[in-house]
Amino acid sequence: EIVMTQSPATLSVSPGKRATLSCRASQSVSTNLAWYQQKPGQAPRLLIYGASTRATGISARFSGSGSGTEFTLTISSLQSEDFALYYCQQYDNWPPMYTFGQGTKLEIK
Amino acid sequence: QVQLVQSGTEVKKPGSSVKVSCKASGDTFSSYPMSWVRQAPGQGLEWMGGIIPIFGTADYAQNFQGRVTITADESTSTVYMELSSLRSEDTAVYYCARGSGGWYVYWGQGTLVTVSS
C-alpha cells in the first residue's frame, strides 16, 4: 500500500498571505495525485488532479506542483473561505488501491 | 448535473452488518467508477473500495478485504456498500464518490453509521 504523508498537520497563516502544504508518497505515483478541500459537515471538494490541473470552477489562487513522491499545494492570498482541511490522494495503482493523506488543517493566524 | 444521493443514518450493534446505498442521477452511470470513502469522527479520509458498474467487479482496500462488499445495480443507477462484522471503530461517515481517472469530482452527502451496543 502506498502511504501518503502530509505536512504539517496544522498550518497557521494570516489572511492575504500564502500557504504551502506538502504531501509525500512512500513510492512514486508519477503525477497521479489529487488535492481536496473539506469544510466541517461537508463532503470533500476536488481542487487539483494530475498533480497540477485545477478542477472546474476552482480559483486560480490554488496551484499544485510536484511529481514522483513530493507534491505541493499552494494557496495564494488566503481568503476566509480557504481555512479548512486539505487532503491529498494518490490514484496510481491498478487495480485501484487508492490512499489519502491524513490531512492538513489550515487555520487562521 | 450529476447528483449522488445516499441512504440515511444507521445505528447498528457490534457484529452486525450495514448496507448503504448511493443513487446516481444526471449522467451515464455504468461507465464511471464508483467508490466508497469513509471518515471516522475527527479523522481523515479512508478509501474503502470501488466498482465500475458496467464491469461489475469490485476492488477493495486491504484494510477491508473480507468485510466489505460493493455492488452496483445498473437498472436503478445505484451502488451499494455492505460492511459486515461491525465494531465500534467502524463508526464513521461513509461517502460514495464518482471517479474520473482516479480522482473524485462528485460526492454523495455522506451517511453516518454508528456502531454501538
Whether chain A has a CB inside 8 Å of the CB on B41: the answer is no
What is the pLDDT, as a whole number, of residue A96? 84
For residue A38, give how far its alpha carbon lies from the nearest alpha carbon of chain B (Å): 10
DSSP string, B61-92: -GGGTTTEEEEEETTTTEEEEEE-S--GGG-E
- Mean of per-residue pLDDT scores for chain A: 96
What is the pLDDT, as a whole number, of residue A91? 95
Task: Answer whether A97 sits within 8 Å of B50, measured CB to CB.
Answer: no
- CA distances to B8, B40, B60 from B93, rounded to whole Å, are 11, 6, 18
Question: Cα(A3)–Cα(A17) distance, rounded to whole angstroms?
Answer: 30
Task: Answer whether A34 sits within 8 Å of B45, measured CB to CB.
Answer: no
For A34-71, write each residue's pLDDT tens digit: 999 999 999 999 999 999 999 999 999 999 999 999 99
What is the pLDDT, as a whole number, of residue A103? 98
Name the burial class of residue A94, with classes exposed (0-12), middle (13-18) and buried (19+) by CB atoms within 10 angstroms of its CB. Answer: exposed
Whether chain A has a CB inside 8 Å of the CB on B59: the answer is yes
For residue B59, give how far its alpha carbon lies from the nearest alpha carbon of chain A (Å): 7
For B63-113, write each residue's pLDDT tens digit: 998 999 999 999 999 999 999 999 999 999 999 999 888 999 999 999 999
What is the pLDDT, as a whole number, of residue B26? 87
